[in-house]
Structure 1
Amino acid sequence: MIASHLDHVNLRIPSDGVDAAQTFYGERLGFGIEDTLYAADEKPFFDVRLSSTAVIHLWPTDEFEPPTATNFNHACVVVEDSIERITDRLADAGVEVDRELSSPRGATGEAPAVYVTDPFGYRIELKERV
């Protein structure tokens, strides 16, 4: 079996966290928010559009429990910008960088990356394209 890419990741968020999620992922990080079907009660989650081939499904739920060090580490998103542009955008948006690495290894090789935490405790690695 040969996979070509990661299609989606499912993350649960608090039922009252929809606005915070849309602000963080949409406005602060600059990803697309696709919530038409969610708003129409046609599906129980909405999407953060990372690229034409990848999304994060965000599932609001009353049973949300924040991730811990024992059950989640991070998801990595390759960004089509230099690490300088990524960090500048984060600074402009007021997003705190948890950690910056010069060459973490990933599926496509080594490239600079920064780590941020969303409003629900999920760590997201934003990695420069190799």
Structure 2
Amino acid sequence: MGISIANIDHVVLNVQDMDRALSFYRDVLGCNVEREVESIGLVQMRAGACMIDLVPADRKVSGPNMDHFCVRVEPWDEAAVRAHLEKHSVAVDQAGLRYGAEGEGPSIYITDPDGNTVELKGPAV
């Protein structure tokens, strides 16, 4: 029997400024704080069916940050997504069609306050 991955469960990001990171993931991407572990400074945020965990960089458990992670945006309205990002002064780094879990579809790359690349993904076309 092999391993069968159903979806992304969570990602853990090392962040320099917890308040700034919380503001980005809450206000820009719409995640909610679900759980906090004060003893290690961990904040777990709900991102749809997945979690984004934030850990203070001075308490990080592994390497730097990561290359990027991707979250599926539903419903996908690229103009509305871009307007929302602009309202929060978040620049679009790259946009185009990219292959993901559902197939080839639109995506936008942005950068969070700690330099982590976040891919916002629409449905397969």
Whether these two folds match at TM > 0.5 is yes
Give the C-alpha shift of residue 33 in structure 1: 2.4
**1:21 and 2:26 equivalent?**
no
CA distance in 2, matches of 1:92, 1:74: 23
TM-score, normalised to structure 1, is 0.80
Q: Give aligned pairs, total.
A: 119
Q: The residue matched to 1:111 in structure 2 has which SS? A: strand
Match of residue 126 from structure 1: 120
Q: 2:82 aligns with which of 79, 87, 98?
A: 87
Q: CA deviation at 1:107?
A: 1.6
Matched, 1:62 2:58: yes
Per-residue CA deviation, residues 48-74 of structure 1 (Å, 9 max, x unaligned), is 2111x201111113266854xxxx321
Bigger proportion of residues as strand: 2
Q: Give the Cα separation in 1 of the matches to 2:123 and 2:84.
A: 16
State the match for 1:34 in structure 2: 34
Aligned to 2:13: 11
Structure 2 residues not aligned, in runs of 5+? none
Contact 1:66 1:121 in 2 (8 A): no
The answer to whether the 8 Å contact 1:47/1:55 transfers is yes
What do the CA deviations read for 1:21-60 (whole angstroms, capped 9, x no partner)?
Answer: 111111122222235x33xx25531122111x20111111
Q: Deviations over 1:67-119 (max 9, x none)?
A: 4xxxx321111100222222121122221111111x10012101111111011
TM-score (norm 2): 0.83
Change (3 A) 1:120 1:66: farther
CA RMSD of the aligned region, Å? 2.0
Structure 2 match to 1:116: 110
Letter of the 2:29 partner, please give it: L
